[in-house]
A and B are shown apart, each in its own frame.
Chain A
Amino acid sequence: MIAYLIRRILYAFPILIGVNLLTFFLFFVVNTPDDMARMQLGMKRVTPEAIEKWKQQNGYDKPLMLNVQAAGVGKISDTVFFEKSIRMFVFDFGFSNDGRNIAREIETRMLPSLVIALPTFVVGLLLYITFALLMTLFRGTVLDILGVATCVFLMSISGLFYIIGGQFLAGKLWHWVPISGYAGGVDSLKFILLPVLIGVVGGLGASGRWYRTIFLEEIGKDYVRTARAKGLSELRVLFGHVLKNAMIPILTGVVVVIPALFMGSLLTESFFGIPGLGSYTIDAIQAQDFGVVRAMVFLGSVLYIVGLVLTDISYTLVDPRVRLQ
């Protein structure tokens, strides 16, 4: 197990280096730092001096990958690639265009993201699985068909509609909760209620149907027939046997997103004005702050790889036959 984990972590490095090379290529080779400077300073009538100054301020005035003038290790370390990309491995993300430390910003913004994303995830998962199990229980009846039709309808609606519609109904028409905003502590409850609700409803269609497919696949297997032959009630069969055996496919899809909850949701956070990582990312994209975007890409990849490792570990927890070597 330990050896397996170490190997997986070592295996993560080539992938992260690949991610870095890719973003580096996108951000520095497709466009030179000169282009970026011109973009930031306004397209027309930018003097070469101003460009040089901007590059110096933001640390883009070094050679891209290989510094021929420097000596020894400096040949590699005194370059844009090293400064901007390799440093990320120790979570040193540098500074955003408005001069703030990106790593510190990420630290403070993780909590609000999590406050929204975690309840959405937990409530959603429980609701979707229950809903799917109910559809499985009533499979082939009108209820099942209605359930599937509802799912298909719900998943055909744009995610933007859930947010805009929800904000309009709950915030503006019925005045249940504030339309947007965020506060720390107990006050946050009234702010997170609506985003969580919308997040849960928005995922119901696709997830409900997905879990139903998983359960239906399980229910045709032999052990289910044996369980029924023993005289177990259908409910016991579903919750006691089918749910447990469907754990592997469920975990495959679910565990991998758990670390990514830290990243927050782009849309929800920006619509509800929640100062989390999702709105941070959107703001950075809209302000064309490439330093922040690069940092978020790296962070996202790290969390994804952590998610993959967690998935493997979770298999051993639900299925004793799985051994990691």
Chain B
Amino acid sequence: MMPFMPFMPVVLWTDALIFLLAAMILAGAWHIKKWPHLMLPWQRVARSSIGMVSLLVLSLFVWVGLLDTLHYRAALPEKNNGQTVYSAEVVSVLDTLANGLKTRTEKTYSAPLAVYLYAKESMEKPDGKVLRDYPRLRFGGAHLVNIERDWLGDVVQKTVLGAAAGLLFGLMLAGVVWKIFTRLQTQKQPPTLSSTRKDNPSLALLIATLVLATFIGAVAYLSSFYHVLGTDKVGQDVLYLSLKSIRTGLVIGTITTLVMLPFALLLGIAAGYFRGWVDDVIQYIYTVLSSIPGVLLIAAAVLMMQVVIEMHPEWFDTSAARADVRLFALCLILGVTSWTGLCRLLRGETLKLREMEYIQAAQAFGVSSTRIITRHIVPNVMHIVLIAVVMEFSSLVLAEAVLSYVGVGVDPSTMSFGTLINAARLELGREPMVWWTLVAAFGFMLTLVLAANLFADVVRDAFDPRLNRTE
């Protein structure tokens, strides 16, 4: 018999791939650490203020996404013949941490920081009269007694308190990191030229940390009393929906590249290295794929995938698993349709590399093709792969929203920026306007994509061999 566990871990398809990806990144980082020539471009990234600040913002998003990836099913209090029964609802650690946000739902729309509901309702007064007015929210600002007098003061006070707590936390964090950092620094060589330059990434990082900590502190404290970003049609907190959307965006941006890479690497290098009929066949395949308009190919594939999923409801035990398979299938489709660009780049680079003397020498020594490719070609095209991957990420996050609008995106029950925008765009026509869902979705998306774009630029500059450097 199974021992009692308060929860049952659930690993969905995309969860497993995210864990795989995280493991790959860690292994890659460990490998890079061993070799100074591999470290060099990353040190250039680390010396850039923009690079470090955007990395900090990105890592915040990644943390939210990772917390949202640890899924489980909670045990129900009642037992069935001594067997523990688990809830059918799959929740994540993020859900548990933000449980307050998740459960404090109102009846329908309410504006950010509002105390009253968006729509008027008929209410019975204690004296029996029926009055039509905006009812108080169940949770937003429920602690206030005299709203007219206290609301503004309360909001300001809570913002300042939260901000102060956040700032304090940020300072402590910065202090600890500084301690560790200086201890590590003393073992290394004395400060090099970079520390005398104008660009000071440590200072930028410190300021960014403090600003972010203050901001997050204020929002976090406020959000336990108010709906900071308002509520949506069924009364769910928009801040919670936005946080949940982050994972979907990250999954699409990263898993897609994970799917795309083997195709692009294998086919691109094979075409460039073996030439002849292999090259012809591979070129034919990617010309066919790239000649179909991207959205249409994706739409066609997604439509087919939907039919397959509809036809086989027996494959999925929970609705979360079903939505997750759809998300995974979307990543697969996006990956299979988007490898052509990178493949062409890699083919061109391999064509160039195979004429190099060291590869000719290896061939003359009778080294096998597989070995030449793995030892000599793959490491020398990795910078192209890396640049392509980071550049692709932001466009994939943006593409998700468009695909959801077209109706070939994620499952409607999956929270994503696309589904948020899609639901919110019709609400703009209301009077007074319901703008907060849209603003929240676009705001989160802009922050994520902007950070990714800035980081991608820094990475590209650091890895691009064409740039002349004096180091």
Contact = CB atoms under 8 A, between A and B. Distances in A.
A161 interface: yes
Contact of B407 (A161, A285, A290, A294): A285
Nearest to A304: B291
Given A158-B445, A159-B398, A285-B408, A19 B288 contact: yes
B291 A19 contact: yes
Contacts of B405: 160, 267
A263 B449 CA distance: 28
B101 interface: no
Contacts of B417: 158
Interface residues of B, number: 42
A164 B307 contact: no
A31 B310 CA distance: 11
Interface in A291-307: 293-294, 296-297, 300-301, 304-305
B458 to A, nearest CB: 11
Contacts of B446: 156-158, 161
> Which of B289, B290, B291, B394 has the most CB atoms of chain A within a 10 A radius of its CB?
B291
Interface stretch (B13-21, B104-112, B297-305, B351-359): B297-305
Nearest to A297: B296
A22 interface: yes
Contacts of A297: 292-293, 296-297, 300
A266 B307 contact: no
A241 B22 CA distance: 49
A160 B403 CA distance: 11
Contacts of B303: 285, 288, 290, 293
Contacts of B330: none
Interface string A202-216: 000000000000000
B300 A164 contact: no
A164 B438 contact: yes
Contact of B457 (A152, A293, A294): A152
Say whether chain A's binding surface is mostly helix, strand, loop, or mixed: helix
B394 A156 contact: yes
Contacts of B449: 156-158
Contacts of B325: none
Nearest to B452: A156
B211 interface: no
A217 to B, nearest CB: 9
> Which of A18, A152, A158, A161 has the most CB atoms of chain B within a 10 A radius of its CB?
A158
Given A19-B292, A296-B296, A26 B301 contact: yes
Interface string A99-110: 000000000000
Nearest to B442: A161
B143 interface: no
A168 B311 CA distance: 41
B88 interface: no
A54 B305 CA distance: 21
B402 interface: yes
Interface of B: 284-285, 287-293, 295-297, 299-301, 303-304, 307-308, 310-311, 394, 398, 401-402, 405-408, 417, 421, 425, 428, 438, 442, 445-446, 449-450, 453-454, 457
Interface of A: 14-15, 18-19, 22-23, 26-27, 30-31, 35-36, 38-39, 43, 152-153, 155-161, 164, 168, 172, 260, 263, 266-267, 281-282, 285-286, 288, 290, 293-294, 296-297, 300-301, 304-305
Given A15-B291, A22-B288, 14 more contacts: A15-B288, A22-B289, A31-B304, A35-B307, A156-B394, A157-B449, A160-B421, A164-B428, A260-B293, A267-B405, A285-B406, A293-B299, A293-B303, A300-B293
Minimum-distance CB pairs A-B, first 7: A18-B288, A300-B293, A156-B450, A156-B449, A301-B291, A304-B291, A286-B407
17 contacts: A18-B285, A22-B288, A22-B292, A27-B300, A31-B308, A35-B311, A158-B446, A160-B401, A160-B425, A282-B407, A285-B303, A286-B407, A288-B303, A296-B293, A297-B293, A297-B297, A304-B291
